[in-house]
Structure 1
Amino acid sequence: MGIRQLMMLAVACSVFLITSCGQSSSKKTESKTENQTTSVDSSFQFTSNIKYAKGFKIERHDGYKELSVMDPWNKGEIFQKYYLIPRGKKQKLSLPSDGQIIEVPVRSIASLSNTQIGILNFLGVLDKVVAVSMPDRIYSDDLNKRIEKGEVAGAGSGQGMTFDFEKIIDISPELVMVSGYMKISNDEAKLIDAGLPVAFNIEWMESSLLARAEWAKFIAAFFNKEEKADKLFTSLEERYLNIKSEINHVTNRPGVISGYHFKGIWYMPGGQSYLAQLLRDAKGDYCWFSDSSQGSIPLSFEVVLEKQSGAKIWFGPAQCRSLKEMADLDERYTLFQAYRDGQVYSMTKRKNEKGANDYFESGVIRPDLMLKDVAKILHPELFPDYDLYFYQKLE
């Protein structure tokens, strides 16, 4: 379930030391150096206010920032800790030894999970990406152009579950970003031991779309882009809450089923997952709201059929483009009312010719569009002039 991604970017200030006998030239150089230092320091001084996300914390200390990723599987424990310091200041600081020390802004990043590509683009640092997990699953036009030019390498497979350790070492990015899952893998530990900082992104365990999107502030900290992330997130939050307010008066709540049967198991979004919260905000009726899981609930086909065969709306498999394709996967899907009524929707509207899906890149950073899509599907009368962005109805 883990996915990895994220590439490093950087704001690098060059200080030119001019040794000449001209006094006015010397003063100009000193002034330029002073201005560059002030610029770096001022961007580093800003610390984000975290409003929704529970999975990370940022604390500012004298000369450095402490960035902690919390462990969602062991409440109260820290999954990984980072000490971020301004570039060039490492030798001047005495830092704790219980975390990875990273000079910021980073200038290159291996982004091994597609969900971080959208955030990097959102922050304006997509040009810092030097490696991705699966190049053929990248939707971004800008990144695809750089992949074609050989500027971005492929460094993994299996949707980010695995990566090529030797290739990452050879590329040697200043930051490797992966999707954290349960515990640090052997290869991830080897990268850290080899001196490559590894940032663990666990946004997928958050309990709301806004909390997921707020991980943009986590990523921004590595690039000295926190102030920009704060401003952009505030705008996203406002749009999301405005859409939510338009739905609040709705009393009709259509029953909803989600996902599909895969290798003997139907992974249903847990009641405390961000997808369940999306359905709450969109005024849907979901059988598993009372469940306490933040991740997925593994269920049998029979249990899902028994409890949700009468659901009105089905948010179905991402790999299917038609009802026939669904029935070809499993004929029992035709037993569900949503299937028989043709009320099955898939997040496949924004797929490119390679099959790469923008839902997995931009979805995390566009909670407003996610909510409006789902609200439009559940309550079409509310947004008559709105065209679905990520989802499409299967025919």
Structure 2
Amino acid sequence: MKFLKLFTFLVLVLAQISCKQEQKNITQNKTNTLIKYAKGFDIQEIGKFKKLTIKTPYPNAEQALEYLIVPKNSTIPDSLKKFKIIETPIEKLVVTSTTHIPMLELLDSENTLVGFPNLKYISSPKTRARIEKNQLIELGNEENINTEILLDISPELLIGFSMSSNNKMFNTIEKAGIPVILNGDWLEETPLGRAEWVKFFALFFNKEKKAELIFNKIESSYNEAVEIAKKATSKPTVLSGVIFNDVWNLPAGESFMANFLKDANTDYLWANTKGRGSLSLSFESVYDKGQHAEFWIAPGHYNSLEQLQKANSHYSKFDAFASKNIFSFTTKTGVNGGALYYEMAPVQPDVVLKDIIKVTHPSLLKDYEPFYLQALH
């Protein structure tokens, strides 16, 4: 009898130790992030599962969104059922931004895409070929998706984006039984941070290793370009943005574009300002500081010097206008007129950086031809 009690006691003690050790391991795994540059999301391993945290699902978000990514038909412990569960691999997907398309194509997962709002805006030849074969369903527009058609095609997951926490359309879709995950890649501060969202998409197809290889290649190419830019013997001054509604909007000093200009070893004249978005300034203040800037990069959607001058005659007063050193990312378009830069550049930060380096430091990258950044004539 004493032996039985002792045996029972030892079993209970060992079970408690095992349980504590398992919880300890899970806690340790949680601290091992798989993300290097991106600030808006994180991936952590919890045993055989992965926890996806969307830290910044929309601007000024105060609360993160958490999901548990699990293989289909998994048994989920009660302690993890507090998370929203996403079963993988996803075979039927809907995304809502053209920037998501190249991510899917890099992962060879574009065939999982079954619907998209505003198909006409997609420029990718590979996905346009699927559209021509009626393999993608038109869902209306991203602000008012046709929920009847969406329910009819029954995707396993919808990846959306939002400007706030109050999105009635996505709430309705979730109530109908279709999981929704908000993608905040467009809020990233750095070029490599935005490109790293390929790892976010890889989670849903069990292609994490492939995504790691893809991103490592992008990272290596980008960092090589940064090192080339450091060889420049001068830092040309740069102006950016245009006037909209009587206000000049240009990148703030901690913004995505400001980081590109910094890595290209240029002197962006507003580099020391605070903020990750844009600055709203008067024409007078921009002119006072930027009239003698050597380069004017990203002048909105204008495609020629004539368009720029017709929009506002004061633009011609800048030195960069007189020297024809104004360069735009948006002149190269797809078959339906969509700017390739907005769709493809998020996964090609190395190409964008090389474009800027070639334009602002002509003696570097001698055999390189800019892809996105084109001079206005």
Same structural fold, with TM-score higher than 0.5 when normalized by the shorter chain: yes
Indicate the residue corresponding to 1:299 in structure 2.
281
SS at match of 1:320: coil
Indicate the residue corresponding to 2:70 in structure 1.
85
* Structure-2 change in CA distance of 1:303 and 1:163 (3 Å): farther
Residue identity (%): 33
Indicate the residue corresponding to 1:368 in structure 2.
350
Indicate the residue corresponding to 1:241 in structure 2.
223
> Is the aligned partner of 1:60 residue 2:45?
yes
Structure 1 or 2, whichever has the larger Rg, is 2
Give the drift of 1:268: 1.5
Structure 2 spans left out of the alignment, 5+ residues: 1-31
Indicate the residue corresponding to 1:44 in structure 2.
none
Among 87, 96, 99, the residue aligned to 1:115: 99
* Structure-2 change in CA distance of 1:356 and 1:100 (3 Å): same
Structure 1 spans left out of the alignment, 5+ residues: 1-46
SS at match of 2:99: helix
Among 197, 208, 212, the residue aligned to 2:194: 212
- When structure 1 is superposed on structure 2, of 277-286 and 258-267 the one drifting more is 258-267
Indicate the residue corresponding to 1:154 in structure 2.
138
2: CA distance between counterparts of 1:242 and 1:268? Answer: 27
Indicate the residue corresponding to 1:289 in structure 2.
271
Give the drift of 1:221: 0.8
Indicate the residue corresponding to 1:202 in structure 2.
184
Give the drift of 1:381: 0.8
SS at match of 2:330: coil
Question: 1:112, 1:156 within 8 Å by CA — same for their partners in 2?
Answer: no
SS at match of 1:177: strand
TM-score (norm 2): 0.85
Indicate the residue corresponding to 1:253 in structure 2.
235
> Is the aligned partner of 1:263 residue 2:245?
yes
2: CA distance between counterparts of 1:217 and 1:166? Answer: 31
Indicate the residue corresponding to 2:155 in structure 1.
173
Amino acid at match of 2:345: G
Give the drift of 1:394: 0.9
Question: What is the correspondence of 1:301-380 to structure 2 with a 5 Å cutoff?
Answer: 301-317=283-299, 319-380=301-362
Indicate the residue corresponding to 1:390 in structure 2.
372
Amino acid at match of 1:224: N
Question: 1:257, 1:286 within 8 Å by CA — same for their partners in 2?
Answer: yes
* Structure-2 change in CA distance of 1:131 and 1:332 (3 Å): farther
Amino acid at match of 1:82: Y
Amino acid at match of 2:189: S
Amino acid at match of 1:338: A
Give the drift of 1:193: 2.2
Question: 2:34, 2:44 within 8 Å by CA — same for their partners in 1?
Answer: no
Question: 2:98, 2:122 within 8 Å by CA — same for their partners in 1?
Answer: yes
- When structure 1 is superposed on structure 2, of 285-294 and 295-304 the one drifting more is 295-304
- When structure 1 is superposed on structure 2, of 376-385 and 196-205 the one drifting more is 196-205
SS at match of 1:114: coil
Indicate the residue corresponding to 1:132 in structure 2.
116
Question: 2:238, 2:295 within 8 Å by CA — same for their partners in 1?
Answer: yes
1: CA distance between counterparts of 2:257 and 2:324? Answer: 22
Q: Deviations over 1:14-52 (max 9, x none)?
A: xxxxxxxxxxxxxxxxxxxxxxxxxxxxxxxxx972111
2: CA distance between counterparts of 1:261 and 1:131? Answer: 36
Indicate the residue corresponding to 2:18 in structure 1.
none
Q: Deviations over 1:120-148 (max 9, x none)?
A: 11111111111222222111112112212
2: CA distance between counterparts of 1:99 and 1:285? Answer: 46
Question: 2:33, 2:44 within 8 Å by CA — same for their partners in 1?
Answer: no
SS at match of 1:82: strand
* Structure-2 change in CA distance of 1:135 and 1:265 (3 Å): farther
* Structure-2 change in CA distance of 1:332 and 1:57 (3 Å): same
- When structure 1 is superposed on structure 2, of 65-74 and 136-145 the one drifting more is 65-74
Larger RCO, structures 1/2 (Cα 8 Å, 6+ apart): 1
Residue-pair matches, total: 345
Q: Deviations over 1:359-389 (max 9, x none)?
A: 1122001111011001111101112221111
TM-score (norm 1): 0.81
Give the drift of 1:249: 2.8
* Structure-2 change in CA distance of 1:163 and 1:257 (3 Å): farther
Question: 2:124, 2:334 within 8 Å by CA — same for their partners in 1?
Answer: no
The alignment yields a C-alpha RMSD, in angstroms, of 2.2
1: CA distance between counterparts of 2:140 and 2:312? Answer: 30
* Structure-2 change in CA distance of 1:341 and 1:122 (3 Å): same
